[in-house]
Amino acid sequence: MLPGLGVTIVFKTSADITSRQVLWEQGGGNNGLNLYIDAGKIYINAFTSDWGPTGLNAQSLENYLMSKYAIGS
């Protein structure tokens, strides 16, 4: 991501929140970020060639509308 660049993700889940669904990813084999739903939770992960992966997760809801999920500055 470029300095000062932000990303806003708007999504609506279906009844299937158990299958892995990648909402956003950026980077490659050495550095990256991703946001996905899996097993009823939403995850955000980051990694570099020096550390990681590290991340956070929270409950995701069936048929849930999520908006203004900002990543970056």
pLDDT per residue over 59-70, tens digit each? 766 666 665 445
pLDDT the model gives residue 73: 46
Residue 3 has pLDDT above 70, yes or no: no
**Distance of CA 18 to CAs 13, 14, 60, 68, 70, Å?**
11, 10, 10, 23, 23
Calpha distance 33→26 (Å, rounded)? 5
Both tokens of 58, joined, read 């929270």
Sequence spans of domains, the chain: 6-67
Q: What's the rounded mean pLDDT across residues 1-22?
A: 77
Strands (E), the chain: 6-12, 21-27, 32-38, 41-47, 54-59, 65-72
